[in-house]
Chains A and B, each alone.
Chain A
């Protein structure tokens, strides 16, 4: 907050100094400090089916305050993930992955599914793909600290399995920082 206030002061000072100068100060695109998660009663939103509906063109809005929005699985995805988990438990990894791929065709933008696929790859010993799946999940879990934390945890596991302990520790710290 103080940074922002300082910049406001700076801008004000700038205007005082420059007066009616023709060239305005450059605009500095703000970097908001992280807003503490204010999820209502910590509960996840009710599960609704993500039937793809066309979104309207995003209006030019200034800096929307980050609202925590953790993803949830649709009932179809939940069923397929449950199926995949039992298939993975039976060490049938290609089939488990195929089940999650089915869910991903229904909800390609759901980071939880990419994490699930990454977990199958991790169990299978395909650590690079496990990390990549987690990174894909991260790229779409915006304002979802709990999901991000799970993804970083998977990245940490993947590094650890490859003996990259320094990177693993760093990823683990990120995971723990987000889950707090």
Chain B
């Protein structure tokens, strides 16, 4: 007995020692896990990527929206058409009348409460606008489209929602489908685990998960994807610890914001808030039964049940979930049947709200990097109000890809690589970048050609040379320059022999023709007559970051410039000689909705506005009878636009920059490795530009003519003053008052006797 007890004692001591050590280790582990759970979960629960919004849509009487366009815009914002609009984000249409209930939205400058609005439209514009009390509303700003976020490198993106932004159906559905004992268990549900084991053994595959919502939350929030027994225990312990520290509603809300629901390139879609935007293009609060059910369906396997790629699979599971919801009394059976009859309702990725604009967002990020640390952008929940116009952006993407496809199909032999392209669109008067396409695959984040691809701009420099000439006071549009072969001795002793595009030369020509036909030799002569320093200075004055070297080759465009900087340069022309720093961001709100910063509109006069007006008129002639005339047919008749094409040596770069009254567009086409494309500015980029301009429904360039200038009619070929009914190819140019111009014999404006002019005004 004693002997035995001695042995037993030893075993007991050993066992209890082992047990004690194990217990201490276990307690230490739990204590460690508890630290993680409380510390990480209680503080800032998520890093919130900054959310970037498009420019909001302004509604006002006269806005050029017919009822169809307005409805389209509302749908783009995820507004749902209903019979009786009472909820934010819904509208009703009866013919030309639209009643809507707007969403509450915190703008940078004010909080816009949800409001009822009645809009009647004429054939092409809003005719009247009134509120619920039938009072006139002069102007109204709709909540802007969320176009993306600035998420960190590991790619987790989310839109966090508060409990009051979650439709009640969602937690109810989640419980029924994922965790029926959620309200009562302490983190783990042993019965569910056993049931799952049985069900899975029967089905021979993983049919049911036994994890509670809390366990799923722990797994997503704290742990990696490894499936080991150790992990499972850790998961269960942490789930129980979470349940001790936090209330059920908190855990449910955390789950709703945490869970992974899909992938969009490099960004991982987390939480139902972002998923709602990503799949349906509207806030979570506005989801209907069939949409809620679809998102719940996706929890189990976001890529397996991806509604865009596996619609049938996703639909089958959605309908199963609807049935389950009816079974458990969350919804009425009839409602579930109605919902099951509805299509999936997802928006197209890339064409609507779910789309993603990496090139533009890159510009936004770089703008803000001057003022904020990377962590502020990716974690602090900033709201960024950008200048992007999604409609213009989509049209720019379409114009570029269609034209590049067409150009490549027209090729006789296939090229070894794909043509690339860039489009930048600005609103000239306020310098806002309203669209930016950084490459052929606009949705592909990578090398941002619009910002980083510095390429030779060729004849795009010419308007700057002509502006320097006109500003010198020695030249006007009718002044004659010689387009003739020449040799320029360079500083290094070499001889430079520029050539024309056609290898031909035109002889003495007026400036307006030299620019319209992009004559190289005439331009070099002009530039040298004005003086290289005057010309290179002009680039800097207009807004180019660096002054180009004072070399004669600069006169023909041997300057490497990124498309965004070309846009800045041409914006000064389109803006009548005023520089306005290009902006992609209007303002920033912090995570609590307090205004942080605004990028205010600034203008600076940088060139004589009369000189700019004269050069702009010459650029109109580029489009009317010069290198741009080929696209006249693509543009709406009567639309006045100004622009200039550019081709770098050996056809490596095809450029076009031009503007209407309300849009400036810069287009570049070329190969990434800088090999020749065989395209000129006119045969490549101009086509994209013209397609875009005609798709935008833009307005004519009709800047006010400075009072010091007067129009006069001259011959395009000779620059001689001539009556419109006399002479060859007579066009109107503008010159300073008092300018003396030679006249064409026989076609004089002020011929003998009463002058033509006098006859007209008296």
Q: How many residues of A are counted as interface, with CB atoms below 8 angstroms from the partner's CB atoms?
A: 60
Within 8 Å by CB of B64, from A51, A78, A117, lies: A51
22 inter-chain pairs at a CB distance below 8 angstroms, sorted by A residue, are A27-B742, A28-B740, A28-B741, A29-B710, A29-B735, A50-B62, A52-B64, A52-B662, A57-B638, A60-B713, A60-B731, A62-B761, A63-B711, A76-B62, A98-B598, A109-B429, A109-B704, A129-B602, A132-B604, A135-B578, A136-B576, A139-B609
List chain A residues, Cβ under 8 A from B758: 8
A57, A65, A102, A117: residue with the most chain B Cβ atoms closer than 10 Å = A57
Given contacts A132-B603, A139-B704, contact A62 B711 (CB under 8 A): yes
The 8 A CB mask of B733-762 against A (1 = contact, 0 = none) is 001111111111100111110011110110
Report whether A65 and B740 are in contact in the complex, using a CB–CB cutoff of 8 Å.
no
Report whether A63 and B710 are in contact in the complex, using a CB–CB cutoff of 8 Å.
yes
The 8 A CB mask of B634-651 against A (1 = contact, 0 = none) is 001011100000000000
- The stretch that binds A, out of B177-185, B189-197, B244-252, B695-703, is B695-703
Complex: A133 Cα to B64 Cα, angstroms: 27
B572 to chain A, nearest CB (A): 12
Q: Taking the complex as formed, is A101 at the interface, i.e. its CB lies under 8 A from any CB of chain B? A: yes
Report whether B742 and A26 are in contact in the complex, using a CB–CB cutoff of 8 Å.
yes
Report whether A28 and B738 are in contact in the complex, using a CB–CB cutoff of 8 Å.
yes
| B-facing residues in A4-31 (Cβ within 8 Å) | 8, 11-12, 15, 22-31
B60, B609, B661, B743: residue with the most chain A Cβ atoms closer than 10 Å = B60
Complex: A56 Cα to B702 Cα, angstroms: 9
Report whether A97 and B601 are in contact in the complex, using a CB–CB cutoff of 8 Å.
yes
List chain A residues, Cβ under 8 A from B586: 98, 101
A135 to chain B, nearest CB (A): 5
Q: Taking the complex as formed, is B114 at the interface, i.e. its CB lies under 8 A from any CB of chain A? A: no
Report whether B109 and A99 are in contact in the complex, using a CB–CB cutoff of 8 Å.
yes
Q: Taking the complex as formed, is B569 at the interface, i.e. its CB lies under 8 A from any CB of chain A? A: no
Report whether B741 and A26 are in contact in the complex, using a CB–CB cutoff of 8 Å.
yes
List chain B residues, Cβ under 8 A from A102: 58, 139, 141
Q: Taking the complex as formed, is B666 at the interface, i.e. its CB lies under 8 A from any CB of chain A? A: no
List chain A residues, Cβ under 8 A from B702: 55, 58
Q: Taking the complex as formed, is B721 at the interface, i.e. its CB lies under 8 A from any CB of chain A? A: yes
Complex: A137 Cα to B63 Cα, angstroms: 23
Report whether A105 and B430 are in contact in the complex, using a CB–CB cutoff of 8 Å.
yes
Complex: A32 Cα to B110 Cα, angstroms: 50
Report whether A142 and B737 are in contact in the complex, using a CB–CB cutoff of 8 Å.
no
The 8 A CB mask of A101-121 against B (1 = contact, 0 = none) is 110111011000000010000
Q: Taking the complex as formed, is A75 at the interface, i.e. its CB lies under 8 A from any CB of chain B? A: yes
List chain B residues, Cβ under 8 A from A143: 707
Q: Taking the complex as formed, is B343 at the interface, i.e. its CB lies under 8 A from any CB of chain A? A: no
Closest chain A residue to B140 by CB distance?
A: A76
The 8 A CB mask of A53-77 against B (1 = contact, 0 = none) is 1111110111101100000001110
The 8 A CB mask of B572-610 against A (1 = contact, 0 = none) is 000011100000001100000001001011111100010
Within 8 Å by CB of B109, from A58, A98, A140, lies: A98
B600, B636, B732, B737: residue with the most chain A Cβ atoms closer than 10 Å = B600
Q: Taking the complex as formed, is B475 at the interface, i.e. its CB lies under 8 A from any CB of chain A? A: no
Closest chain A residue to B138 by CB distance?
A: A79
Given contacts A108-B429, A136-B578, contact A94 B598 (CB under 8 A): yes
Q: Taking the complex as formed, is B724 at the interface, i.e. its CB lies under 8 A from any CB of chain A? A: yes
List chain B residues, Cβ under 8 A from A106: 58, 60, 63, 139
Closest chain B residue to A141 by CB distance?
A: B704
Q: Taking the complex as formed, is A89 at the interface, i.e. its CB lies under 8 A from any CB of chain B? A: no
Query: Which residues of A pack against B, CB within 8 Å?
Result: 8, 11-12, 15, 22-32, 49-58, 60-63, 65-66, 74-76, 78-80, 94-95, 97-99, 101-102, 104-106, 108-109, 117, 129, 132-133, 135-136, 139-143
Complex: A86 Cα to B454 Cα, angstroms: 46
Query: Which residues of B pack against A, CB within 8 Å?
Result: 58, 60-64, 108-110, 125, 138-139, 141, 427, 429-430, 576-578, 586-587, 595, 598, 600-605, 609, 636, 638-640, 661-662, 699-700, 702-707, 710-713, 721, 724, 730-732, 735-745, 748-752, 755-758, 760-761
Report whether A135 and B605 are in contact in the complex, using a CB–CB cutoff of 8 Å.
yes
B429, B430, B577: residue with the most chain A Cβ atoms closer than 10 Å = B429
Instruction: Give the secondary structure class of B's interface.
Output: loop
Closest chain A residue to B734 by CB distance?
A: A29
Closest chain B residue to A87 by CB distance?
A: B109
The 8 closest A-B pairs by CB, nearest first: A49-B62, A76-B60, A31-B737, A108-B429, A79-B138, A60-B732, A76-B139, A142-B704
Complex: A28 Cα to B710 Cα, angstroms: 11
Report whether A98 and B587 are in contact in the complex, using a CB–CB cutoff of 8 Å.
yes
Closest chain B residue to A128 by CB distance?
A: B604
Report whether B737 and A29 are in contact in the complex, using a CB–CB cutoff of 8 Å.
yes
A38 to chain B, nearest CB (A): 15
A174 to chain B, nearest CB (A): 13
Complex: A98 Cα to B583 Cα, angstroms: 14
Given contacts A52-B64, A108-B662, A133-B603, contact A58 B732 (CB under 8 A): yes
Complex: A55 Cα to B62 Cα, angstroms: 17
Report whether A31 and B738 are in contact in the complex, using a CB–CB cutoff of 8 Å.
yes
Closest chain A residue to B638 by CB distance?
A: A56
A76, A102, A132: residue with the most chain B Cβ atoms closer than 10 Å = A76
List chain A residues, Cβ under 8 A from B745: 22-24
List chain B residues, Cβ under 8 A from A98: 108-109, 586-587, 598, 600
Report whether A11 and B63 are in contact in the complex, using a CB–CB cutoff of 8 Å.
no
B473 to chain A, nearest CB (A): 15
Within 8 Å by CB of A26, from B61, B110, B430, B743, lies: B743
Closest chain A residue to B713 by CB distance?
A: A60
A144 to chain B, nearest CB (A): 9
B702 to chain A, nearest CB (A): 5
Complex: A83 Cα to B742 Cα, angstroms: 55
B739 to chain A, nearest CB (A): 5
Given contacts A26-B740, A139-B609, contact A74 B60 (CB under 8 A): yes
A142 to chain B, nearest CB (A): 4
Complex: A72 Cα to B181 Cα, angstroms: 67
List chain B residues, Cβ under 8 A from A136: 576, 578, 603, 605
Within 8 Å by CB of A62, from B429, B430, B700, B760, lies: B760
Given contacts A55-B640, A139-B704, contact A28 B739 (CB under 8 A): yes
Complex: A177 Cα to B740 Cα, angstroms: 30
Report whether B600 and A97 are in contact in the complex, using a CB–CB cutoff of 8 Å.
yes
Report whether B125 and A51 are in contact in the complex, using a CB–CB cutoff of 8 Å.
yes
Report whether B578 and A74 are in contact in the complex, using a CB–CB cutoff of 8 Å.
no
A12 to chain B, nearest CB (A): 8
Complex: A61 Cα to B750 Cα, angstroms: 15
Beyond contacts A63-B710, A94-B598, A106-B139: 12 other A-B pairs, Cβ-Cβ < 8 A, are A8-B750, A28-B739, A31-B738, A32-B737, A52-B662, A54-B638, A58-B702, A60-B731, A76-B58, A76-B62, A101-B600, A135-B605
Complex: A95 Cα to B110 Cα, angstroms: 9
List chain B residues, Cβ under 8 A from A27: 712, 721, 740-743, 748-750
Complex: A114 Cα to B545 Cα, angstroms: 26
A97, A98, A104: residue with the most chain B Cβ atoms closer than 10 Å = A98
Report whether B61 and A76 are in contact in the complex, using a CB–CB cutoff of 8 Å.
yes
Given contacts A11-B750, A58-B732, A108-B430, contact A51 B737 (CB under 8 A): no
Complex: A98 Cα to B58 Cα, angstroms: 14
Report whether A140 and B703 are in contact in the complex, using a CB–CB cutoff of 8 Å.
yes
Report whether A140 and B704 are in contact in the complex, using a CB–CB cutoff of 8 Å.
yes
B515 to chain A, nearest CB (A): 18
